[in-house]
Amino acid sequence: MEIIGTVTANQPLLVMAVHLEAEALFAETKGDKRESDLPVLLTGMGKVNAALSVATVLARGPHPSEIINLGTAGGLHPGLTGTHTIGTVLQHDLDSDALFRITGLVTGPPLLVGDPDGPTLATGDSFIADEVTRDRLAVHASLVDMEGYAVAAAAQAAGVPVRLVKHVSDDASEQAGMTWQQSVAECARSLAAWVAENVPR
């Protein structure tokens, strides 16, 4: 976990997994110091890192005006490209139905984080890079990532507004890892452009 800048009550907190996705947000500075005009939390990859990082920052306070989770995502439908503001996020690696049958309790339900008609994001602790898994997930979602649900759950538990914004980096096929590496710099620029256009300072 790394925080760049200072979290304040009158500004959003930008939450991203890794520096490669955030690179375009940082101003050119002298030496090794990185600066952004909005605070940035780098959580590390995966649901546990994301949930722990966001929960830790919110527990310390102050709460930001909102949390905006920016990052890359695999596209689950052919031809899906660009930047998307998520409507609903779910966990694709949690068998909620089986847990309900066993316990009678609803565990990890989908979370509404935007326009109900917006795209659905599936979050899980696996980098999706095979067509069989991609096609299975595509029945319920348009995009797949590794942190979105955890960020949203931690923010909502603390009563902090949250938005998830994802840029398509790959098509979740066998070439997804290579495609992500080749596209992440351009994805970072697109996410920074979205912030410049949609987040007031």
Per-position b or e across 74-110, b if 16+ CB within 10 A of its CB? bbbeeebeebbbbbbbbbbebeeeeeeeeeeeeeeeb
For residue 62, whether the previous peptide bond is cis, meaning omega lies within 30 degrees of 0, is: yes
Looking up residue 57, the CATH number of its domain turns out to be 3.40.50.1580
Query: Taking the CB of residue 161, how many other CB atoms lie within 10 A of it?
Result: 14
Residue owning tokens 């050119």: 28
Rounded distance, CA 85 to CA 96, Å? 25
pLDDT at 27: 65
Domain residues for the domain of 13 are 2-198
In the chain, the number of structural domains is 1
178 token code pair: 């290579």
pLDDT score at 30: 43
Cβ burial of 52 (10 Å; 0-12, 13-18, 19+) is middle
pLDDT for res 35: 67
R_g (Cα) of the chain, nearest Å: 16
Task: Please give the model's pTM, rounded to 2 decimal places.
Answer: 0.94
| pLDDT string in tens for the chain (201-residue length) | 999 999 999 999 999 999 999 999 986 544 455 667 899 999 999 999 999 999 999 999 999 999 999 999 999 999 999 999 999 999 999 888 888 889 988 889 999 999 999 999 999 999 999 999 999 999 999 999 999 999 999 999 999 999 999 999 999 999 999 999 999 999 999 999 999 999 987
